Structure 1
């Protein structure tokens, strides 16, 4: 059994019964569902506030010659400068909320598209855009250009870089030995690239080989992340929404005594792959899963909308958190 690292910020769970059903030696879950408390419950609270800090620190440095620390910005001693700064983001919920949190924390205004009620509670203006995520990205970029705002994004382009993936790399876990498979949801690619790069020092020349096929609902992959994923990832799997809900239920149920996990829709996709592999030898063989496999899943978000979670899973996030079993560490 692999070594388990305990952290106050996020937790591992050992899924002893699940691993038996999945034809594997061990299944570990890196649980981010309480990152910065269940109110946020997402790894994205690592990236967006850091990006806001960098923007504001640069502005203060430009105007005063001093570069403030995060603690100094939180005292609002540079409020006269930061209050005139507006940041915006394209988001389906999480990134917008975390950006609003960072803006509130450091004292600037914010514009985001997201889970509107919670985001508005943090002081943001919410602009809804018809269409998919790509349309929101284009609108946010244009709004920022027209209004002289700062555009914050988890994706990038040749003429636009960002700080979010740098800080999201904190989530990578370098202390688990003997892991053979790591599953991470793809999205625009930034978090997957950060995690895989974090594991690279362990993999070195033994990294998996293959040509990944990139399919993401966000439509706008991060070019820098794609280079890392093309280099390190073995492959990509597309997961239907309906199966993702089944995986949310499996994780929440605690599966015969395993720890219960509150997982959002996207993060549950990794469990979907294991569930399919448990009943399909073709999938198992393609993924190289066998009785010697030790699998690490990343639950990168919890119930970022508790009402949606309860409607899909049939129980509240609070009830799942209360039912965490004896395998939590």
Structure 2
């Protein structure tokens, strides 16, 4: 594992990303609550695991329960597509509901629309599912090597799913080209020049996760987190939650670690260059953490991660596999959590950080100790059930021999 500590974290409240403020988050939450399928996902305290690794508390927000999609992505897509449709109707999202936007009256006004995206699986399934809710079509492009179950889950919504011969970043480019050729609406969870509004809506939708966590902590009388570990692919989810938290705490938020797979660590690489600009990594981006297999950072997310994260971590795949097994086989008294590769990497990271002598300096710098309460987001369940069983049952991707 490799670490970079951010000695230039920006505590200046004037630089806060105000479009991710608590007030903006409430707008997204209110719209999401107008969905018949909306429900708060569990916040799970793993007290025995916390004791075993040497911290005061561990809490896991389990997004595998979100909207029946087995991943968190539906939050962002629902809010983004809702805003897109509102724009076509000439209304604002605060003045409507999800059920109205899926009504026959609205479908008649809109006519036929096609939404398209590139995805490693979870985001595309969310786009396809939400498009169907609104009575519209979706065409979803996936990179080579995509798990069969993730492709099938998209097709089960009635969407067209096309597996390309490209990696994730080149598949995004293909989706952009097809959208321009066919007049489709692209719904991507990253940004580029001239394309920022939809990614911002997606990120605002994600902030519901921490809005719920705040209420759950108070209701469950749990201690406030001192640390949060956030996974990053392009950085949209991590940037959204960190931006929300930075606003909530006015730049004096708890310690935040950003974790990525070694072969797709574009946020880590950008931090290592140190010129404040986002930087792409190239290659196959091969990793079991499919949802994080992205080589080019979301630039609007990167600016938040650059200014407000405390550390950036690059991990081999065995760290995620270790986290999956730990969550699947809990200590007595803890609840089981079914977590996919991208969802479990943070737990694997903490267990190694707290146990390996070589990381004592990092622990000290990040103030990770017996008084720490660490929050994790389980971003997905077993979205690739074949690989899940191979890892959890058969021990695939074991820890290296010491």
Corresponding position: 1:95 with 2:126: no
Q: Distance in 2 between matches of 1:313 and 1:81?
A: 49
Aligned equivalent of 1:192: 238
SS of the aligned residue for 1:111 comes to strand
Corresponding residue to 1:243 among 316, 319, 322:
319
Q: TM-score, normalised by structure 1?
A: 0.85
Mean Cα deviation higher: 297-306 or 174-183: 174-183
Q: Distance in 2 between matches of 1:180 and 1:265?
A: 24
Alignment of structure 1 residues 14-53 onto 2, 5 Å: 14-37=45-68, 40-53=69-82
Q: Check the 8 A contact 2:227/2:256 in 1, yes or no.
A: no
Corresponding position: 1:165 with 2:203: yes
CA gap of 1:147–1:119, structure 2 versus 1, over 3 A, is: same
Mean Cα deviation higher: 150-159 or 250-259: 250-259
Give, in angstroms, the shift of residue 47 of structure 1: 1.1
Corresponding position: 1:72 with 2:110: no
Q: Check the 8 A contact 1:22/1:277 in 2, yes or no.
A: no
Q: Check the 8 A contact 2:65/2:71 in 1, yes or no.
A: yes
Q: Distance in 1 between matches of 2:293 and 2:382?
A: 20
Corresponding residue to 2:88 among 45, 59, 63:
59
Alignment of structure 1 residues 1-329 onto 2, 5 Å: 8-37=39-68, 40-61=69-90, 69-114=97-142, 115-161=150-196, 162=198, 163-172=201-210, 173-175=213-215, 176=217, 177-204=223-250, 206-207=252-253, 214-215=268-269, 217-286=293-362, 287-314=366-393
Aligned length: 303
SS of the aligned residue for 1:227 comes to helix
Provide Cα deviations, 1:156-208, integer angstroms capped at 9, x if missing partner.
11310112111111111335453211001111111111111222245435347
SS of the aligned residue for 2:342 comes to coil
CA gap of 1:293–1:156, structure 2 versus 1, over 3 A, is: same
CA gap of 1:210–1:125, structure 2 versus 1, over 3 A, is: closer
Off by >4 Å, runs of 4+ in structure 1: 207-213
Q: Check the 8 A contact 1:23/1:289 in 2, yes or no.
A: no
Q: TM-score, normalised by structure 2?
A: 0.70
Mean Cα deviation higher: 13-22 or 89-98: 13-22
SS of the aligned residue for 1:183 comes to strand
Q: Check the 8 A contact 1:208/1:234 in 2, yes or no.
A: no
CA gap of 1:209–1:270, structure 2 versus 1, over 3 A, is: closer
SS of the aligned residue for 1:184 comes to strand
SS of the aligned residue for 1:214 comes to helix
Higher helix proportion, which one?
Answer: 2
Q: Distance in 2 between matches of 1:211 and 1:118?
A: 31
Q: Check the 8 A contact 2:76/2:202 in 1, yes or no.
A: yes
CA RMSD of aligned residues (A): 2.4
Q: Distance in 1 between matches of 2:39 and 2:331?
A: 24
CA gap of 1:292–1:304, structure 2 versus 1, over 3 A, is: same
Give, in angstroms, the shift of residue 142 of structure 1: 0.6
